[in-house]
Structure 1
Amino acid sequence: MSSKVAALYIRVSTEDQTELSPDAQKRLLLDYAQKNDMIVSGDFIFTESVSGRHAQKRPEFQKMIALAKQPSHPIDVILVWKFSRFARNQEESIVYKSMLKKDNVDVISVSEPLIEGPFGSLIERIIEWMDEYYSIRLSGEVLRGMKEKALQKGYQTSPCLGYTAVGHGKPYVINEAEYAIVSYIMDLYDNQNLDETAIARRCNDLGYRTKRGKLFERRSVDRILGNPFYCGTVVWNGVEFEGSHEVRLSRERYEKRQKLITSRKRPVKARNVSACKHWLSGLLKCSVCGATLSYTGNNKCPYFQCWKYAKGFHKTSVALSVKKAEEAVISYFDQILDGAEFTYVCKKKKTDYSLQIEQLQREISKLTMRESRIKEAYEAGVDTLEEYKNNKDRLVSDRLELTAALSQLLQEKQAEQPDTEKILKEIRSVADVLKNPDVGYEEKGNLIRSVVEQIIYDKESGKMSFDIIIS
């Protein structure tokens, strides 16, 4: 009988501290192969340090399975120290073992010998179930330990760009080279009004990379701009606390940026300003069909035109020169600042006070009825004077409490109404930037989008309708 060719699969998990080291596992597997007349090539030894819960996340495991399923049939058996090294998930274990069985490849645990027959298969299923149960229990224990560490204000998340972990739950320290990139990103967004995509492009052009050494993209810039860790707040899995690490970003600047991010949040299908050819691109809409007016033409006579008209969807041209469009927008803002009336929509999600107010008002009405009933009960001789007095005092106390709650809600509802002076201040700052020829179109585009959602142009009347939004 010819010798079988064996592959060794060696896996250690960082979560499990009771398992054998990779070298110890390798030694035991090689001893077993030698005693059972199996051939092991150096190319057929697969080692990795990763959890066994998900096979897709184990590259060496996948490489071994692909090798075993080759038409040339290079291996006959896979040796593991324990079945738990092969998989911690019973479903995946059965799937992969069945897959290998079709190619006549066996999986053998050198420390868990099985007898032939159905009873051996039953024992193997029980072992797999126990392995999965242990993994789930261990995962729960680890999660509880990490949560307790977070509640004790310990640091355990992966450090963000600009910080380096020192271990043992101690506060992270600033990495000066990385933090310079973070500062650059924040400055471009906060002070130069560039959008996230444009910032990512600039970072990549300068050779900057993310914490994992990858190119920057919009979402990686988003994470940096919205990460409260930079202003002192540590967040882990729902647990939040004020950390003791060094902070260079003020809370005021961070909160101001979050409001800015909310105001600049674009609709799902809207393009980034950095991808537009003009600061009005994407804002101008056709009054005929509602489509966007596209920037068209050369540098001598650029204009906007409905893209659906250009494609032949309708017969009405809605052409508008860039110069006239810019003048009309600036003129509209000037009219508002000079006192002209205008309407706006508050973009910030409002609290619905009406239901709460209505509920409180109903409760107060019920109190009036109850007061009448206790009086009738006293007059009818059902309640004594002492009982009537106690009931009346309780209802008076309830009325005072409900009235105070109602008054508080009415005050909050009134306070939520935007301040006109604040709105005009935002519009004035945008108008000043639009008039400045030294400011780039990206900055102008971002700023106007913080107060204008869309501008509908009616070619026939020559008028524009502005949808003003306030965050």
Structure 2
Amino acid sequence: MLTAALYIRVSTDKQEELSPDAQKRLLLDYAEKNNMLVSEEYVFIEGGISGKKADKRPKFQRMIGLAKSKDHPFNVILVWKYSRFARNQEESILYKSLLKRNNIDVISISEPLIDGPFGTLIERIIEWMDEYYSIRLSGEVMRGMSEKALRGGYMSVPPLGYASTTPGNPPVVVPEEAELVKTIFNKYVNEELAMFQIARQFNELGVKTRFGKPFQRRTIEYILQNPMYIGYVRWNRQHHSSHTIKSREDWIISKGTHEPIISDDVFNAAQERIKRVAKPLKSRPVTEYKHWLTGIIKCAYCNRALVAASSKNPNIFNFQCSSYAKGKCESNSVSSNILVPAIMEYLQNVINSGVVDYTVKTEDRQIDVSLLEQQLSKLEVKAERIKAAYINGIDTIEEYKMNKELISSERRFIEKQISDLKVDVKHDHKPEMLSRVKELYKILNDDSIDKIAKNKALSSVIERITYNKRESKVKVYFYYR
């Protein structure tokens, strides 16, 4: 008597086929009529799984693993149709050959084959037809989904800020999640924080994603680039198997019927900054700067950069407005022999007078406070739930006390953060600013310090320096962060 395994699969494409129970019943009947013994532990059933890729089918892989083992527990594998075993001819031949080496046959009970070469040919034709049907069906599904997407239909899980409704209807806005989305755009566009900084701030505040996980840089990037937030539907952006991004030409973006969360202006500003940060126009690494003033010195007339060019003397550089060569600004040239002493004199006057004008660059703490207050509101809901669980006899008194203490501890932590954020930070920074200017002056005067270190020191205190050739004058714009 042969020992048989049953492999039963129902596809994701819902084509007309037998249910798992019906397939199992027919396979067991076939085994009984053909004197085959079937053990329940060797009945492998997979539902809602495509047959295109064998490595995506766990029950199939387990069955093959047992078949390859030294004392394989069955001699034959029964399937309702060969398409249940595989829909990829290459994989079908590969796995059947592997099974053959272990003296295990694959039999389709609804597609009987004769022995010999002709039977093998018929089997290959059946496999080819199954693969062709799979490819054709996949194409039809893709075309149908593409057409739906072009009409503004919704086929994927909505992003943070939205929740699904009944099938076919547009998603609805989730107010508390929508506030998070608005905060992300505000921090990126208005506060000019980097994506990783936004993610880090959210994580420090205890804010989680919809799935209860910490925010990552890619989470922020996905939100900032998703046109869903301005009322559009985006589909076919990535390959499902590898999760790699497809070419933009393959994307489908169409007008939806859902409520936008972000204005077009804010969304477009975010896209512009993403492009600018990813590929800054004519940007160069600091290591390629010719002079430590590069990137800081600007034209007083048009605010464009003054570009350094080498002269015959390697220690002297000539600066000129980058717009002058394009005919967009007048000549604003100056030698480093003039520019550097003028800047050093400016710094010395600040130090001697003790008067420094500067702008304060700070983050919008009010937004962080509102996020923390939302977390407090959620804690109140949790507190009511654990209380109800105790009253209804679900939790013991010990469990209730433990959960209550955990919530109290979290509440104290959040309240402390709110208190810290509400502390008035508008005090006088001038003493510290003067100290920074003095340190900068020392660094710029030290010939042993290279241009890269000098440029970084300059950038940490000075936002920009402008030069006006008409007045032979420099102006330094200090900032405090």
Query: What TM-score bracket applies, with the shorter chain setting the length?
Result: 0.5 to 0.7
Q: 1:100 to 1:162 in 2, by over 3 A?
A: farther
Q: For residue 134 of structure 1, report the CA deviation from its aligned partner.
A: 0.8
Establish whether residue 249 from structure 1 lines up as the match of residue 248 from structure 2: no
- Aligned counterparts of 1:457 and 1:98: Cα–Cα separation in 2: 78
Partner of residue 152, structure 1:
151
Q: Is the 8 A contact 1:48 1:60 kept in 2?
A: no
- Aligned counterparts of 1:233 and 1:458: Cα–Cα separation in 2: 56
Match of 1:436 among 355, 360, 367: 360
Q: For residue 167 of structure 1, report the CA deviation from its aligned partner.
A: 4.8
Q: Is the 8 A contact 1:173 1:246 kept in 2?
A: yes
CA RMSD of aligned residues (A): 4.3
Partner of residue 24, structure 1:
22
Match of 2:32 among 34, 42, 61: 34
Establish whether residue 54 from structure 1 lines up as the match of residue 60 from structure 2: no
Q: Which SS does the other structure have where 1:85 is aligned?
A: helix
Q: Is the 8 A contact 1:210 1:216 kept in 2?
A: yes
Q: For residue 166 of structure 1, report the CA deviation from its aligned partner.
A: 3.0
Question: Residue type matched to 2:8 in 1?
Answer: I
Question: Residue type matched to 1:106 in 2?
Answer: D
| 1:383-394 mapped onto 2 (5 Å cutoff) | none
| 1:167-316 mapped onto 2 (5 Å cutoff) | 167-176=166-175, 178-204=177-203, 216-237=215-236, 238-265=251-278, 284-285=286-287
Q: For residue 204 of structure 1, report the CA deviation from its aligned partner.
A: 4.7
Q: Is the 8 A contact 1:68 1:75 kept in 2?
A: yes
- Aligned counterparts of 1:261 and 1:194: Cα–Cα separation in 2: 12
Q: 1:38 to 1:176 in 2, by over 3 A?
A: farther
Q: 1:11 to 1:162 in 2, by over 3 A?
A: farther
Question: Residue type matched to 1:157 in 2?
Answer: S
1:387-419, Cα deviation, whole Å (9 max, x unpaired): xxxxxxxxxxxxxxxxxxxxxxxxxxx9xx999
Q: Is the 8 A contact 2:77 2:104 kept in 1?
A: yes
Listed as ranges, the gaps of 5+ residues in structure 2 are 237-250, 309-322, 330-356, 365-443, 464-481
Q: Give the TM-score normalised by the residue count of structure 2.
A: 0.56
- Aligned counterparts of 2:73 and 2:32: Cα–Cα separation in 1: 18
Q: For residue 162 of structure 1, report the CA deviation from its aligned partner.
A: 2.5
- Aligned counterparts of 2:303 and 2:256: Cα–Cα separation in 1: 49
Q: In the comparison of the two structures, how many residue pairs are matched?
A: 319
Q: 1:128 to 1:176 in 2, by over 3 A?
A: farther
- Aligned counterparts of 1:199 and 1:243: Cα–Cα separation in 2: 28
Establish whether residue 95 from structure 1 lines up as the match of residue 119 from structure 2: no
Partner of residue 379, structure 1:
none
Q: For residue 231 of structure 1, report the CA deviation from its aligned partner.
A: 0.7
1:79-136, Cα deviation, whole Å (9 max, x unpaired): 2221111111111111111112212222222222222222221111111011011111
Partner of residue 315, structure 2:
none
Q: 1:42 to 1:142 in 2, by over 3 A?
A: same
| 1:117-136 mapped onto 2 (5 Å cutoff) | 117-136=116-135
Q: 1:164 to 1:461 in 2, by over 3 A?
A: closer
Partner of residue 395, structure 1:
none
- Aligned counterparts of 1:201 and 1:461: Cα–Cα separation in 2: 33
Q: For residue 435 of structure 1, report the CA deviation from its aligned partner.
A: 4.7
Question: Residue type matched to 1:86 in 2?
Answer: F
Establish whether residue 8 from structure 1 lines up as the match of residue 21 from structure 2: no
Query: Which range moved further: 182-191 or 247-256?
Result: 182-191
Q: 1:339 to 1:139 in 2, by over 3 A?
A: closer
Q: 1:222 to 1:69 in 2, by over 3 A?
A: same
- Aligned counterparts of 1:58 and 1:419: Cα–Cα separation in 2: 64
Q: 1:33 to 1:169 in 2, by over 3 A?
A: same
Query: Which range moved further: 213-222 or 141-150?
Result: 213-222
Partner of residue 318, structure 1:
none
Q: 1:185 to 1:20 in 2, by over 3 A?
A: farther
- Aligned counterparts of 1:251 and 1:439: Cα–Cα separation in 2: 24
Q: For residue 203 of structure 1, report the CA deviation from its aligned partner.
A: 4.2
Q: Is the 8 A contact 1:287 1:457 kept in 2?
A: no
Q: Which SS does the other structure have where 2:26 is aligned?
A: helix
Partner of residue 305, structure 2:
342
Q: 1:215 to 1:40 in 2, by over 3 A?
A: farther
Q: For residue 244 of structure 1, report the CA deviation from its aligned partner.
A: 1.0
Question: Residue type matched to 2:265 in 1?
Answer: E
Listed as ranges, the gaps of 5+ residues in structure 1 are 271-281, 291-324, 346-413, 421-432, 441-455
Q: Give the TM-score normalised by the residue count of structure 1.
A: 0.57
| 1:459-470 mapped onto 2 (5 Å cutoff) | 459=447
Q: 1:438 to 1:143 in 2, by over 3 A?
A: closer
Q: Which SS does the other structure have where 2:18 is aligned?
A: coil
| 1:312-323 mapped onto 2 (5 Å cutoff) | none
Q: 1:141 to 1:438 in 2, by over 3 A?
A: closer
1:136-162, Cα deviation, whole Å (9 max, x unpaired): 111121122222222333222332233
- Aligned counterparts of 1:211 and 1:34: Cα–Cα separation in 2: 52
Partner of residue 295, structure 1:
none
Name the % identity.
48
- Aligned counterparts of 1:168 and 1:45: Cα–Cα separation in 2: 32
- Aligned counterparts of 1:460 and 1:255: Cα–Cα separation in 2: 46
Question: Residue type matched to 1:108 in 2?
Answer: I
Q: Which SS does the other structure have where 2:91 is aligned?
A: helix
Q: Which SS does the other structure have where 1:285 is aligned?
A: helix
